[in-house]
Amino acid sequence: MAALVNIPQSTSTVEVSIIDTTSTIHFPTAFFVTPEINDVKTLRGGSYSFLIEHKPSGKRLVFDLGVRKDWKNYAKPLLDNLLSTGAFTLDIKKNVADILTDHGVSLDTIDGIIWSHTHFDHIGDPSTFPSSTSLIVGPGFSAAFLPAYPTNPSSQLLDTDFAGRSLVEIQPSQFDQTIGGYKAYDYFNDGSFYLLDVPGHAIGHICGLARTTTTEGNATFILMGADTVHHAGQLRPSDALPLPDQITPNPLGGPLPCPGEMFEKIHPAPETYQTKPFYHINVDENGNSVAHDPVEAEHSVDHLKEFDALENVFVAFAHDASLEGVIQTFPAKANDWKAAGWKEESRWRFLADWKL
């Protein structure tokens, strides 16, 4: 399966920093994934954003903004929905704009904010950036979500998100390459950074693929997975990345490897516990799902598994709690993730969520 990913060659890279947006979100497991495993009804995650710096052009981009600090100032329909469901517990310490300025990044050097999609835990507060910072969105965005609130009283976005700034909607025709089953747009036209059309979770859902190092035949990449998955148990194990007989580092702690067979008893299909993921996208009996198109969303997950199985691609989706304590976040750079062993150290940590 991993052989299906053919990333074009290039000698160009971008510098990438993974931003801890200081968001902590507690959410019901069944809102996103199924089945319930080992009586785990609630999950916790942060919300990662990314700073992307393209040295040849001097341009800087921010991919996603997490949750805005003053989240009760979201558009009224969005806030009403959050409060009425009572499904989420939120703790946010800072806006991404504050995190950047705290570390000496002037906001007027940020050329664009990329929204992976329009859900509350990704849109943040664009109004904290100057009007010179454009807002970059995926295909179908304008028709589906504009005008915003209060111009449109039912919109979950705010007029202030867009006021005075350029809105750039990437058109389907611009995704003129195919990488690993996704349509891809070469953003800087040099192979350093691609936007990927990753449909299913939401209208206009896009991901980022950054080339982080380039050595003859041995380039490395970070895939900014947004909400393609909400838990690593949707990705792993897979046919291309089986659960090892002996798991190291031990996700349950201790110096010795953990026997993989320990997880057979909690896998929803025990006979395939080494090759099939533990979770998939939940769809209620009435057809409701967090995914806009659950079938398309599962196809997108399948393609993400292909990237995840590659040793030179580090998949970092927005709410991956298993990265905590492994990765270095902004202001540190993430380009040397492979030499630092982040992928190997974090790969199976999600197994500890089920507390055997």
Per-domain residue ranges of the chain:
2-236+277-346
Residue 178, CA distances (Å) to 25, 184, 299 in order: 34, 5, 15
Q: Is the pLDDT of residue 216 over 80?
A: no
Calculate mean pLDDT across residues 317-321.
Answer: 97
In single-letter form, the type of residue at position 164 comes to G
Torsions phi, psi for 187 (to 5 deg): -65, -45
Q: Is 191 left (phi over 0), alpha (psi -120 to 50) or beta?
A: left
Confidence label for 217 from pLDDT (cuts 50, 70 and 90): low
Asked if the bond preceding 257 is cis, omega within 30° of 0, the reply is: no
Calculate mean pLDDT across residues 263-274.
Answer: 97
Q: Count other C-beta atoms under 10 Å from residue 104's C-beta.
A: 7
- Tokens at 71, concatenated: 């989240």
Calculate mean pLDDT across residues 43-54.
Answer: 95
- Tokens at 110, concatenated: 């940020």
pLDDT at 2: 40
DSSP collapsed to 3 states, 286-300: CCCCCCCCHHHHHHH
2-236+277-346 homologous superfamily: Ribonuclease Z/Hydroxyacylglutathione hydrolase-like (3.60.15.10)
Q: Would you say 137 and 204 are in contact if contact means Cβ atoms under 8 Å apart? A: yes
pLDDT at 219: 95
Confidence label for 178 from pLDDT (cuts 50, 70 and 90): very high
pLDDT at 218: 82
Torsions phi, psi for 245 (to 5 deg): -65, -35
pLDDT at 9: 93
Q: Is the pLDDT of residue 3 over 60?
A: no
Calculate mean pLDDT across residues 167-187.
Answer: 98
Calculate mean pLDDT across residues 219-227.
Answer: 98
Calculate mean pLDDT across residues 238-263.
Answer: 96
CA–CA distance, 66 with 21 (Å, rounded to integer): 6
Calculate mean pLDDT across residues 131-136.
Answer: 98
- Three-state SS at 89: strand
pLDDT at 85: 82
CA–CA distance, 78 with 73 (Å, rounded to integer): 9
pLDDT at 336: 97
Listed residue (351, 269, 333, 344) closest to 19, CA to CA: 333
pLDDT at 1: 38
Mean pLDDT, all residues of the chain: 96
CA–CA distance, 169 with 117 (Å, rounded to integer): 12
Share of the chain above pLDDT 70, in %: 99
Residue 26, CA distances (Å) to 42, 47, 153 in order: 7, 11, 28
Query: Residues 275-302: pLDDT tens digits?
Result: 999 999 999 999 999 999 999 999 999 9
Residues contacting 38, CB < 8 A, separation 6+: 266, 354, 355, 356
Q: Is the pLDDT of residue 87 over 90?
A: no
